[in-house]
Amino acid sequence: MVTENLSIEEARETILAAVSLLPPETIGLGEAQGRVLAEDVYAQSDIPAYDNSAMDGYALNSAEITNHGTSLRIAYELPAGAVPHGPCPPGHAVKIMTGALIPPGTDTVVMREDTEEYPDSVIIHKVPKRYANIRFAGEDVKKGAPVLSRGDYLGPAQIGILASLRKPLVLVSQKPLVAILATGDEIIDLGEPMEQGKIPSSNSYTLIALVKESGALPIYLGISKDEKPDLIEKISRGRRADLILTSGGVSMGDYDIVREVLSAPENTLAFWKVNMKPGRPLAFGSLLGIPALGLPGNPVSTMTSFYQFARPALLKMMGARSLLLPKINAILACPIDGNKGDRIHYMRGILERRGAELSVTPTGEQGSGILSSMARGNCFIVLPKGTTHVDQGESVECELFSSLF
């Protein structure tokens, strides 16, 4: 029996229960950015591996500098990567560069800006503190300490840590393969002649971009006509996919056949319709034994449904710990009127900082076909069911879908 009119949470739980973590794979560190770590990583050595200078300047014994203007002889010069020539004698300093090992007999580094330099000597104009401007071995990470965990997203900092650990290969979760299929006799692809009554297939390319943004790999199956044989034939091209995404064909129209194909004996239809706006006509089940999500055809509905359901499913397949969009509260910059309140409403908004406050403004017209409302916005303003009016100045919950904030 097909369940209808689920809550967002019920629908999401059903979808997440139907997808599984993909097997891991080993890749080169240079290819690992944006992937999800599939192993716990421990430090095999201290980071940094040795005491080194944090500044260009002079390494010396701080006990010898009790007054401003103390003059010291220069024992030798020590560039980064070189080995100290020996201990620093009393009354001397070592001219040192950032990253160089701290010479024996010294316990501080005085910045060049605080000195007066001569060819064979240096005058110290600042009484230094012991251990100033020294990066100690293990100061960042101690040997044996946990550094990164399974499920961590590998961004630039994480890549840098792995490089510091001299880890050329890294174990990550595989990227899901996502088959994308647009449906509808009215839909035409790029490059086809534009005729009256036809609509460019924006959803196809929007979904390709969303899948890539989520860290998965899209497989574009093209556009299906509103005919079962064509729909079934094109779906069959996605047999190697981990998830099938269709757009359109799940509403109440006479030619909305995706839901009908999902209901066929060889497939399954787990639920239809979710109590949300936009995106109510959503279907989920399986095609060819592959989890399949039938997204609504209106562009904003497609994107909203993707963020709420497809994205969490893909992130779960990749082993990510955080599956949902980031949430933050902001002050509404203008009143919201006229919302029916019959279901949770994801309005498109522009979140920005105004002084000490986070402020959010609706993008304008909120129709499910107004894709520009997503292009202008960077967040959803989440209006709970039963909310018909929100005053200016009230706090509202926002879900960020764009990093451009």
Per-residue model confidence (pLDDT) at position 256? 74
Question: Superfamily assignment of 327-400 in CATH?
Answer: MoeA, C-terminal, domain IV (2.40.340.10)
Per-residue model confidence (pLDDT) at position 253? 63
Q: Cβ atoms within 10 A of the Cβ of 23, count?
A: 8
Per-residue model confidence (pLDDT) at position 260? 87
Q: What is the mean pLDDT of residues 305-317?
A: 98
The CATH T-level fold of domain 52-135 is Molybdopterin biosynthesis moeA protein; domain 3 (2.170.190)
Q: Where are the domains of the chain?
A: 3-23+175-317, 24-47+139-173, 52-135, 327-400
Q: What CATH number was assigned to the domain covering residues 24-47+139-173?
A: 3.90.105.10
pLDDT class of 35 with cuts at 50, 70, 90: very high
Instruction: Give the model confidence (pLDDT) of 272-308 as tens digits.
Output: 999 999 999 999 999 999 999 999 999 999 999 999 9
**Which residues, including other chains, have CB under 8 Å from residue 237's CB and lie 6 or more apart?**
179, 219, 221
Q: What CATH number was assigned to the domain covering residues 3-23+175-317?
A: 3.40.980.10
**Which residues, including other chains, have CB under 8 Å from residue 187's CB and lie 6 or more apart?**
198, 199, 200, 201, 203, 223, 248
Q: For the chain, first and last CA: distance in Å?
A: 44
